[in-house]
Every structure is written in structure tokens, then in C-alpha cells.
Structure 1
Amino acid sequence: MPDTATPIPTRWVGPIRVRGNAVSGEVEVPLATYETPLWPSVGRGARVSRLVEDGITVTVVDERMARSILLVAPDAATAYAASLDIQGRIGELQGLVSTQSRFAKLIEVRDEIVGNLLYLRLEFTTGDASGHNMVTQAADLILDHLLAADPRLSYGSVSGNFCTDKKVSAVNGLLGRGKNVVAEILIPADLVAKQLRTTAARVVELNTRKNLVGGIAAGSLRSANAHYANMLLAFYLATGQDAANIVEGSQGITYAEARGEDLYFSCTLPNLIVGTVGNGKDLPVVEDAMVRLGCREDREPGANARRLAALVAASVLCGELSLMAAQTNPGELMAAHLRLERRRQDAGSVA
């Protein structure tokens, strides 16, 4: 344990009503943040979820953790020939990985040739771990094996940035890294009006102008959302995740439709890197959070991590929905921040 610790205010918010292929029920979620207005904002989205019969539907679409190795060939022709040979030996590489780990499973190898450089993006499932160390260890093993089998190749790096780790990239947006999750909700018009103080048409218009067109104008990369990073960081800190993964985790797309006067609202997150075991999970407060979230149950490998990812995505939708609704009304966002933060400061001064 470290000699000192940095306290981060944490509050359990919700419950959120959620269903899908990884979790179903009403679950409170922990959010650790210095931006205290985040709690009532996510709480408003959670309240809406409980007022909708089906709540938020969350679908875990895919899961994979990637590590890219870099091999150096004398020329592009040799790199290409080597890539074809490697693609024909995937079964051999899968068997090799299985000798080292019970949970790491090689599912795909993608290649990219730049000049005489051969990048191999190795993609794995990693059970309930986020898998950073697991896939690096497997990549080391594969790298040594390939270099021994082909003397034309030489070592470049165990991580060639084609992964891509803790950086925003097109490749992760397209292929995913971690859990690829979609959260969606259909909100009746009366709830949109009473709970969010707006209309479906106004939310759709704002999403188009702000997230989609504004994102393009800003040069956003495979990303169109208002503030996924806020909810991700708060959830990651409260559950012992590697917080730097919000860099690629916040890469996602908010989509909204007016269905009559009802509001369809969704958040797609292709890069949710979370785990229920591994580094950061040995702290008592994290263990308590995992138990309370239902992520310590006896399930097949990977199921607890998928449950956690689904709850993260549901939390992101709650906060995104609330902020987007607020921004359809002039002055509402800043007024809420001033009111909530001043109330907290006044409470602190009295204490």
C-alpha cells in the first residue's frame, strides 16, 4: 500500500434500470469525482431509466484486447510474404498462447505493412481481466516464436502502436479494443417533457448540430459525444480501473431519433477497457464496489467483466442524456453547476 492516499469524493448513484445480454435489474453505481454536479446529472438519467418500463437496454457487441508487435523485414516484399505465412499459422499461434495462459485466447491477427515494417495486431479475449499485461506477455511469446521461425525478420517492438493503447485512433474506433458496448433507451414524450424539460426534436437537433457536425468541424476521430469521459473516469476510479484508458474509452458516438414525439437515445462505446480482476482490484474499497455491483458472482470467465462494462455504458448514457437535455435550454447547464457547487461549498463551510 502507498504511504499516502488521495481522497476522491465517491457517491453511489441510481439505481439504474438496465437489461441486456450481460446484466438485468436495477443497480446502483459508484462514481468517484471532484466534479460533484456529475452525481445528480447521472442520477437524473437513472431516474428516467426507472420510469421507462424496459429501462436502458445494453448490448455487449464484442470484446477483444489488442497488442501490436512490430517486425522488421529487409523490404516490403519480404514483409508481405511473412504476413501471408503468419496468417496461415494462426492455429499454431493459438496453441502457443494456450500453453502460457488459461484465460488469454488469440482470436485474430491483423497485419499492416509500411515500407519494410510489418505490424501485427494480435487480438485476444482475456476473461475477467482488462488484459493489458496478459496480452503483452502473450505478444512476447509470439514475437520470440516468429523471430525464431523466420530469420529474415528482426525485432522492432513488443508494442508498435497499432494496438492502440491509451491513444485515440481510427483503428480502435473501427475494430474495438476492450468491450464494444451499445446502450439505448426509448423515452416516452411525457417523460422527456417532465423529467428532462425538453422535447425529442430538440435533443435530436442538438445532437446533430453539436455532437455530429460540431465534432466533424473540430476534427474528432470516430467520436461524436458530449462528455463520455466524465462518467468513464468517475466509474473507473471507483472500481480500480486503469484511468488512462478513458483516452480511447471516451471515443464513441451518441445517436438520437425522434420516434413520433418519443425520444430514442443511444451511446455506442467501442473501447471500454474494464476488468474485475487484476491490478487495482486488491483495494478494500474496490472489492466492496465489485461485490455491490454483482461482479463477484460465480460465472463463466469474462461474464463479470461484461456485466461491469454494461453498467459503465448505462452510466455513460445516463450522464450523456442529462447533459444533452440541459443544453437544449439556454442557461440551464451553468445555473445547475452554480447551484449545486455553491450548495456543497456552503455545506462544507458550516461543517
Structure 2
Amino acid sequence: MSAEFTPIPLRWVGPLRLTGDVEAEQEVPLATYESPLWPSVGRGARISRLVDDGIRVTVVDERMTRSSLFVADTAAAAVAASRAIIARFDELSAAVSERSRHAKLIDLDTEVVGNLLYLRFALTTGDASGHNMVTFAAETLMERVLSWHPELSYGSISGNYCTDKKATAVNGILGRGRNVIAEILIPADLVERQLRSSAQRIVDLNVQKNLVGSTIAGALRSANAHYANMLLAFYLATGQDAANIVEGSQGFTWAEVRGEGDLYFSCTLPHLIVGTVGNGKDLPAVDDALARLGCRDERPSGENARRLAGLIAATVLCGELSLLAAQTNPGELMQSHLLLERRKDSTK
């Protein structure tokens, strides 16, 4: 069966200026039907070039997880098995290394519910997002555990304690994907001239909208305006599994007034599930985009994916900053959308 393709408008935006764990002045690709996203991210990118340090990126952690489910006869048996398995962590780690050059077991968490035993394996996966790599590793580990503990039986290769493509708390608490923070310090005069706002108004709106508004809406470990918009556009342009915007969009926007009206603004994205190798990355347009982003360079394993995650986090900051600033001014958001749509209609 031959594949068919749906065209999605794509535009390169920027460049963005990044420092910290990613040093770059880089344009980024955004594939979206929501065309106002391009100038919105572009405004944030322009501000990053007007600030000496640009957007500072910090990669906090990286791991991919798979939770496997085992069934015991009793809770006591499940707990006893979990303790014995944890004690043999080094043997489990060696079993993974025997089967894979790139996957490395770095952590193991357990949860027992009744007679059900959940083992949450965390691995580093090089430049891959790691979905298939951790599943393959989990199969190896399940075989090893079942050979040690005949009192356990197979439940499922994935027991939903991972957690993949679902909004949960566990990914933020224990980690899954690449945890990245992007931050910028914008002088007061730039806030006024480029964003037509003030640091105090943006800080107040972030508290009232992103923090309080998200809380009363029942948001789960998330307080932001629209991370999903930038993530989906970037994911589609670079061959990522787009369904991972579910957990990827769980993140936190924080802002403070510094000095004489300067704006400190940050976006924390605790679980970006992205990679530069693997399924979808061999498509010509995707391969070209990754090469243009500098994510096809010869680097130690994992560094290209960290660069990609840093670029994504900085892009999210640009779009988040621009939208919040617009929403401090009555009517600006809708006026901008209408203006862009009218321009598009006039070209038909």
C-alpha cells in the first residue's frame, strides 16, 4: 500500500538567538494551518535577537520510560517481588546493554496496586525519542524478571504507568522525555516598544490566567497559554510523533519583574518526547529540516536530540511571550487574527 501525504503549510521563522546548553542563531520550521502562529513566534524571535544572551536554554534531564505490568496471587507476593527486583538493578541494566548499543537503563520505579505489580523502567535512548527502543528493552527485562520470579505472570508490556500520550502527573514527577527550560530577560524599554506592554502587566496576566485560570479549570501539572500550538507545528515539520503533544504541552510559564521594569520570562517543558533519528526522520522534507536545524551534525550520541529539544523550548517561549503580551491589550489578539486573515483572502 503506497503512502499518501496531506500538505500542511510550513514557514521558517526567525532566527532565534539561543545561549546556554544550545548555542545558536537559528531559524525554525513551523508546519501549521494556523498562520498567525508564524508572526507571533516571529515577534518573540525578534526580541531574542535584541537581547545579548537571547534565550538561555537549560536541558535538565532526559529519559524514556516503559512501565510493564506483572500479576501476582497476592499483594504480599507483589511487594516481595518488587523489592527483590530492585535489588538486582545492576543485572537488569546489564541485560539491556547486552541487547542494545544505545539504550541504557538508568532508573526503576515500582508501584503495587492489590496484586498488580508495575515496574517503570527509565532509559536513555541516544538521539531517538525512544518509543520502540524502550519497548524492546522492556520485553527483555520482562523475560528476565519472569525467569527469576515464577510466582509472577505476564500482565502487559505497557501498564500505563509510563505514561505515553496521556496527561498524567507521573511524567513530571519521575521524568519522561527531555526536560528543558527556556528563559529570557527583556529590558523594560524592549517590553514597551516590541510587546506594547509592561513587565508588570505580563506578570499579572500570567498569574491570573496561566496559574489561577488553569487551576480552576483543573489543569494537571500545567500552567501555560498555548504550548501545544508551537509544539504541534514544530513536531510536524521535524517528523515527531505528533500525539506526544499531549504530555509535551504540560508545562509552566513563569514571569517576574526585575530591576526597573525588566521582564524575566521562562517556559519549563518537563517532558518533550522528541528525537532526530527513527521513524519518520528519513522523509526527504524532514531530513532536510533536521539538517538545516543543525541536528544532523556529527556529535556524541544524544546531543543532536538535545539541540532539537532546546530549539523547540525556545520556540515555545517566543510564541508564549507574544501571545501573553497581546492579551494584556484589549482587542489586540482578535485584531491581529483578522488582519492576517484579510491579507490572506486578498491574495486569492
Code of the residue aligned with 2:233 in structure 1: it is A
Aligned twin of 1:138:
137
| CA–CA distance in structure 2, aligned partners of residues 127 and 180 of structure 1 | 15
| CA–CA distance in structure 1, aligned partners of residues 52 and 202 of structure 2 | 21
Aligned twin of 1:335:
335
Classify the secondary structure of the residue corresponding to 1:81.
Answer: helix
Code of the residue aligned with 1:20 in structure 2: it is G
Aligned twin of 2:68:
69
| CA–CA distance in structure 2, aligned partners of residues 91 and 120 of structure 1 | 15
After TM superposition, the structure 1 stretch with the greater mean CA deviation from structure 2, 172-181 or 35-44, is 172-181
Classify the secondary structure of the residue corresponding to 1:110.
Answer: strand
| CA–CA distance in structure 2, aligned partners of residues 333 and 160 of structure 1 | 42
| CA–CA distance in structure 2, aligned partners of residues 4 and 342 of structure 1 | 31
Aligned twin of 1:280:
280
CA apart distance, 1:32:
0.1
Matches within 5 A, 1:5-16: 5-16=5-16
Extract unaligned runs of 5+ from structure 2.
Answer: none
Aligned twin of 1:222:
221
| CA–CA distance in structure 2, aligned partners of residues 91 and 124 of structure 1 | 13
CA apart distance, 1:140:
0.7
Matches within 5 A, 1:191-270: 191-260=190-259, 261-270=261-270
Code of the residue aligned with 2:214 in structure 1: it is G
| CA–CA distance in structure 1, aligned partners of residues 70 and 147 of structure 2 | 12
Aligned twin of 1:28:
27
Identity across matched positions, percent: 71
1:247-297 per-residue CA deviation (whole Å, 9 max, x = no partner) reads: 000000000001130000000000101000000001000111011000011
Aligned twin of 1:180:
179
CA apart distance, 1:3:
3.9
Q: How many residues align?
A: 347
Query: Scaled by the length of structure 1, what TM-score is found?
Result: 0.98
Classify the secondary structure of the residue corresponding to 2:246.
Answer: helix
Going from structure 1 to structure 2, the CA distance change for 1:223 and 1:304 (only over 3 Å counts) comes to same
Going from structure 1 to structure 2, the CA distance change for 1:3 and 1:84 (only over 3 Å counts) comes to closer
Code of the residue aligned with 1:166 in structure 2: it is K
Aligned twin of 2:326:
326
Aligned twin of 1:317:
317
Aligned twin of 2:166:
167
Code of the residue aligned with 2:345 in structure 1: it is Q
| CA–CA distance in structure 2, aligned partners of residues 3 and 115 of structure 1 | 45
Code of the residue aligned with 1:64 in structure 2: it is R
CA apart distance, 1:11:
0.3
CA apart distance, 1:242:
0.3
1:89-134 per-residue CA deviation (whole Å, 9 max, x = no partner) reads: 1110011001111000000000011111111110000000000000
| CA–CA distance in structure 1, aligned partners of residues 77 and 176 of structure 2 | 29
| CA–CA distance in structure 2, aligned partners of residues 339 and 250 of structure 1 | 28
1:208-266 per-residue CA deviation (whole Å, 9 max, x = no partner) reads: 00000001000000000000000000000000000000000000000000113000000
Code of the residue aligned with 2:85 in structure 1: it is I
| CA–CA distance in structure 1, aligned partners of residues 2 and 11 of structure 2 | 23
Query: Scaled by the length of structure 2, what TM-score is found?
Result: 0.99
CA apart distance, 1:176:
2.1
Code of the residue aligned with 2:319 in structure 1: it is G
CA apart distance, 1:173:
1.8
| CA–CA distance in structure 2, aligned partners of residues 31 and 176 of structure 1 | 26
Code of the residue aligned with 1:53 in structure 2: it is D
Code of the residue aligned with 2:94 in structure 1: it is G
Classify the secondary structure of the residue corresponding to 1:225.
Answer: coil
Code of the residue aligned with 2:327 in structure 1: it is Q
| CA–CA distance in structure 1, aligned partners of residues 118 and 132 of structure 2 | 19
Classify the secondary structure of the residue corresponding to 1:167.
Answer: coil
CA apart distance, 1:2:
4.0
| CA–CA distance in structure 1, aligned partners of residues 198 and 204 of structure 2 | 10
Is 1:55 matched with 2:38? no
Q: CA RMSD in A?
A: 0.8
Aligned twin of 2:304:
304
Classify the secondary structure of the residue corresponding to 1:83.
Answer: helix
Code of the residue aligned with 2:303 in structure 1: it is A
- The runs of at least 4 consecutive aligned structure 1 residues that moved more than 4 Å come to none
Classify the secondary structure of the residue corresponding to 2:29.
Answer: strand
CA apart distance, 1:25:
1.9
Aligned twin of 1:42:
41
Aligned twin of 2:18:
18
Classify the secondary structure of the residue corresponding to 1:290.
Answer: helix
Classify the secondary structure of the residue corresponding to 1:163.
Answer: coil
Code of the residue aligned with 1:77 in structure 2: it is A
1:139-196 per-residue CA deviation (whole Å, 9 max, x = no partner) reads: 0110111111111100110000000000000101222211000000000000000000
